[in-house]
Every structure is written in structure tokens, then in C-alpha cells.
Chain A
Amino acid sequence: MAKITLDKVAHSYGANPLAPSDYALRLIDNIWQDGGAYALLGPSGCGKTTLLNIISGLLTPSKGRVLFDGKDVTALPPERRNIAQVFQFPVLYDTMSVYDNLAFPLKNRGFNRADIKTRVLEVAAILDLTDSLGKKAAGLTADAKQKISLGRGLVRSDVAAILFDEPLTVIDPHLKWQLRCKLKQVHEHLKLTLLYVTHDQVEALTFADHVIVMYQGEIVQIGTPQELFENPSHKFVGYFIGSPGMNFMPCTLEGNEAVVGDIKIRLNDQTAALGAGARGKLELGIRPLYLEVHDRNVQGSVPARVKSIEDQGSYKIVTAVLGSRNIVRARLAEGKPAPCEHAWLKFPESWIRLFSDERLLKN
């Protein structure tokens, strides 16, 4: 079990980084607590795999230090760091059986046959692989192979953290869920620190206790799934999390109202005060889930023209145009009547968020 600390880590793949854009990872200063399940979420190229490889030791950062339980491991190679890594596609020793695959890390570290056997059987039991132990690893399905990859990490009882680099990429959709549950089980059972990299928000939000959102080499926000949803600290988080993402509209402030084009939206006192104190480009944000759609003019609503309605099964997504060109999406709950050409949108004051220069305004 380990507390992982990243002390002012930055990394550039080029030889002489000059501008911030030369860095794959800009300044990362962060602590991951022992035994937590963390997800590193972000789009391709945001630096999450770089970060993972720095933690595992496959990459040495250009700047900064990596500490495990306070000990500086920056110079240590992966095999001395007590971590295990599961990759995007199953990485196995094709010529060996499942048993030998699982035993491999222990054999290399000089354990004796009896100890190896005990440990391998233990781990195989946890991962439901006991029946396959004698088979050749290469002939199994993708999800079984990923379990073996995970198993190779678990056999080492001194393993402190397990790092996952988009491990479900090659798994069939209907098996993804099963594998995710298994991972959660393993986490609860063994209480290891798990770090899970993904670009799929559903995976991140269902797997992790805490999600770290990354964008362009920086950590943009760390929080529980709920915090990320309700209070995204960066426009990117608002946009990336949630399906569909948060609505954003440029606005100006007039007293207690936000002005979008020629439409005025009421704000509560708190939000208005935050807006008044802001300096940069102001935007109003609200999640489609909270934006109310009505088919008639209700108190406090503003008119909008309906562009399209998509049926997502248990709910519908209404895309409407507010004013001359602001496109917003709202979630229409099951059972509520769908508007035809015109809709009336109500912005509940408590769910309105103001962003200045793409950052959330908060107390």
C-alpha cells in the first residue's frame, strides 16, 4: 500500500523544451492517498498515459520527483517500485500456460516453488481463473487475458499500487461491465491503491472514488464524480463530463441578471456577487439535466426555438436555439410532454454556474 506523491513533476518528450506547449505534462503537484481508487480521465493526448508511466517508472520525468510513502523513487526502475501495470491490450507470455504467466514475476524474484504455488492459486481464485491454470495463455479470450495481466500484478504481495492504462479497450462491450465489477471487487478485497487511466467518463465515474480530470498536460480538477458533475472547476470538465456536456453561453452581468444576447436570466444573490467580482470573459453554464424544458410559457422561463429532439430511451434530449445563435441542450424527463417548435426554458438559479476565462467562479 502506498501513498504516491508527485512533487512538481513535469515532462517533455523533446530534448530542449522551451514553451509550455513543448511539455506533455505541465506542472503536476499531487498526492494520492493509500488504498484509494482513482481515475485519470481526459481526452487523447492530455498526458494521462505519460503521467501513468512516470508513476510506474517506465518514464523518468524531466523535472520533479516521485515519492512512494515519502521515499524518493524517481530514479528507481519499475521492477523495484512495487507497482504493477495493466496495458491497453493483453500483454502476456504467449508461450506459457496461465499458471506460468502468473508465476513469472515471483520466479524472477527468487521465490520457492511452494510459495509460488500458494500465491498463484490464491490470485487465480480471486480472479476466477482457477479452471484455466493449465491452459496456454494465448488461447483465451481477451477479458481472461486481461485478468491474467492483472493477476501478474496481484501475485506480488508487496505490490503497492496497480496502474491501469485503458485496460478495457479491447474487451467486448458486454464483458466490460463484468470486468469492471471484478476490478472493484479486487479493490475492496485487497485495499490496494488503484490508478485507472481512461478517456471514457462512464468508466471513470463508475470505477473511481476520486476522478482526476486532465487536459493538455495539466490536472484540471480532482474530485468525486458528484463534485465534478455539479461544480466543474473548468469549462473543459463541464464539457467533458456528462452526456451531453454542460451548456455554455457567453453573457454579461446586469445587476442580478445574466444577459445572453437579448435574453435576461435571473441569478441568485450568491452567483450574482461572484459574477460582479469577476474580471475575464464571462460565460453562463448549466447542465442539460437541470435545465427545465416546458412546452408553454411558465413563470421565469425564456422562449427558445426547438431544433431537434433525440430519444435516448428513458429520456429525451431537446436541442434548442436561444436567442439568435446560442444552442443549448436540455434533458426532458420521461413522461413530460415534448415541445414542438417552441419551448420555454427555465434556468433554476441554484444550478446556474458562472465561468470567467473558462474557470468556475466560486467562493
Chain B
Amino acid sequence: MSHAKPRVFIFGRGGDSVGLDPAHEEDGESFKVCESIYDTLVQYQDDSTEIEPALAESWETSADGLTWTFRLRRNVDFHDGTSFDADAVLFSLNRQHDANHPFHEVGGPYIYWTDSGLAETVDQISRIDDYTIQITLTRPYAPFIYALTIPAFAIVSPTALKKSGEDFTNHPVGTGPFSFVRWDRNEKIVLKANKDYWGGAPGVDLLVFRAIPENSVRLIELQNGSIQAMEFPNPDDLPLIRQDPDLNIIEQAGMNVGYLAMNMDKQPFGNHKVRQAINHAINKNQIIEQLYQGLGIPAKNPIPPNMWSYDQTTEAYTYNPDLAKQLLRQAGYANGFKVTLWALPVPRPYIPNGRMLAEAIQSDLKRISIETEIVSPEWGTYLEKTKNGEHDMAMLGWSADFADPDNFLYYLLSKSSAKKPAGNIAFYRSDEMQSILDQARTETDTTIRAQLYRQAQALFQKDVPWVPLAHAKQIVIARKNVRDLTLHPISFKYLRHVKIKAD
């Protein structure tokens, strides 16, 4: 930063990061920054959800799927000058896995290590030589390699973490394209380009993440040119943004699903025909069109279209109130019934406005004589009570942690997740579904797995425990002179390629 003016890219976002010690983080705002500072063993390709090498140059699996051997990249340094090697990988992962590790207690819980299933499937992580490590599993776990892309499993500098301890979260050191400069809490995080990055130096000198909580103010900052890109505009501002000659809207299909779960533990939702009727009664396309302002696509499967194994051929339930009424009559509910409809109290990526969505659904259901009472307690209570099955119908959703259908289907629809507090809040208990999902989890051949997941989608379509609602797109608004900003369905690593064209 001596003579020439540094090329600065300021990214405006709604909130600050919670922490920058990746192993403990679980929120998008933290991972967004972590992905610029750290690398994982494997990562997604820039333009797809296929896996490519990162800190691991290559890897192989034993025939039984239990032993994974990773060969590590050489001549890579952490930002503090220490070298990356097998010991650093062991330190970063064993710290999460092994309760007896001397640095296990530093920080809080390892939320993703538990959540992603690695805590129970990983047996041992061991060193073969300076640049080779081996991970053995207790049972074959097909999503394993995808799970390793989660930013929480990034490789941290052991030297730096030992030095900073609890404070590592404020002084992060990794091998990534940017190194940490400073963090003014709830204002901004400043990162500097790592010119020696193994993947090539980034396109800007400084990357700044600014917290600008108010959506409309963030947009004005962008229009004034004091920031170069931003996320989460007000949907109402989109028409204005489209007309602005200085701004570009960059879109990408997200990997998420918003759904309406029907609690099958409660009548009348145990009745198959009732669930079908409700699927026919909701004018999904029109509701999505109005509520998502072009940033959502109607869902027909429980997994999003950009997830591998997505079944294009699934026939969506059409909007047909007459057929819905007929199905209700056949089910013995010609005069309808009265149930509670739980509306999301907070905006989530997959459902931007739960209250309005609930009102639209309410009026559609009224047409087939189903009376609904909208319930919308605050978020903590909402999660607690829906996970304990107190609702009749409730909306909820999921954003992918990694690009594997298991990440959606097992948690949301397997019989084993119908145990309270449940991930499967439809309390859909199908032995057939469970056996398909179990099989797909242990099978290592991706072609066979994809077939199994298509079976799961067909079964879902037949049993309809939910009304699948929408897949939301993600967008970023950038100034016209910003180049090479393309979003990725899951990862935030795209910021490393960003460039600014000189005016």
C-alpha cells in the first residue's frame, strides 16, 4: 500500500460476523469472511458443486469406503509465515474431534462437527508423513467428501491458535487468498490480499466487509459509490435497481427449500388424501411470483434443482381447487376442518415474509373450506414448539451445508429425524424412506446414490408430507465497474476473484 492507491473492494452486508475461528462458527456472516481467510482440504469448483482439490492435492478411498488418504499441497504458508503440513491438518481437525486434544476446550462447541455427522462417523485422523494424512471412518459415509468443504473444517495455523487461545477468533490466521488486518466489531472487517496465494493472487488489494444493517441505507451507500457491492436489498427496491445504469444485479439459484409441513401425528393430516388436497389447493406459482419478487422458483421436490439427483420429471401438483374439494370429500372432510397454520416470524433466506405467505395460503385453503388460524410466536419459541410437534401445519426451510442430497433428505424426511426435537417436523415416519436414505448414505457409487435419491423424491411425491413451496435465489448488487463477481450456490469463496475496472 505504499505509492499506488490500493484497489479496495468494500462489500456491504446486513450484519457483522460473530467470530472468525471457523471451527466454532455456524452463521453465514462468519463463514463469508472465513472463506476468504482460510482454505479447506477440498473445495467446490467455481461454477459448479463438483469437488476440486484445495489444500489436499489428491485423495483416494479404500474399497470399503472406510479409509480416506489425502495428499497435501506443498510449499504453502500460513499468513504468519509458518508452513502448512500434515501436522496443521491434524491440529485443526483433531481439535474438533478429540475431546482430549489440548486445545479442544478453546472456544465454544464444535457445532458443525457434530451437525454434519462427522463427529460420529470419523474414527481417527492420522499422519502418514509430512504431506499425507489419513482419515478412517467408523462406517461408510458417502457425503463425507462433500462435508469436508464446510468452512468450519478449514485448516488454521496451529502456531497462531496456540498463541492467541480464546482470542484466536479475533486474530485469525489461515492460508487463504486474504490475510486478516483488523476487525472493528459491528463496523467492518478488513482483509489484505495474500500475494503468494497458491491459487493465484486475488484481484483487489484490500477486501472490506462493512456492516450496514438498514437495507435501504446500504443501497444508498452503493449508489453513492462508497461500497462496491451489497446483498439483501429490499425486494421493493428491485425495480429501481434494475433501472439504475450504475448497478448490476448478479443472481444465482440458491441451494435451499422453503416448505409447509403437515404434522402427520395430528388428524386430519394422517390422511393421505387430505395432504394431496392441500397440495392442489394452494396456488403456489402465483404466491411465489408475488412474494419473492422474481427471486424465487416454485418447488416441487424437497431438494433444489441445482442439487445432483434432482428429478426433473417429477410432476408438480397442479393448482386445482375442484380436485382438492373432491379429495377432501373422499377423505370424509366434505365440510372442511379447522387447523393452526404456523407462520415464520422472521425473514429467512428461503422464505422472506412468512406472515404474508401464511395469509395467502390461508385464503387459498378457505376456498376448500379449510379454516386456518395463523400462529406466529417469536423465533425461539417457534423452533422449540414446531420441533416438538405442537403445530398442525408449519412453514420452515433448509439451506444446504454442503452439496449432497443427504444434507436435506436425511434431516428433513427420515424416520429417525422424527424424534423430538425433530428435524422432520411433518413427523413423516416411512420405513421405506428410511431404508432408501440409509442405503444412499452408505453407498459409495454416486450413480447408484443418485438413483436412490430419485426414488426418495418419487416416494415423497406420493406421500406428500409437505407442500414444497419455493427455492429462493441469492442476489448481490454490484456497481458496474465490478468484474468477475459470480455467485456460487453454496460457497462464499467467489470474492477472491473480484476485480474493479479502473474508471
The answer to whether A and B belong to the same complex is: no
Q: Which residues of B contact A (CB under 8 A)?
A: none
Q: Which residues of A contact B (CB under 8 A)?
A: none
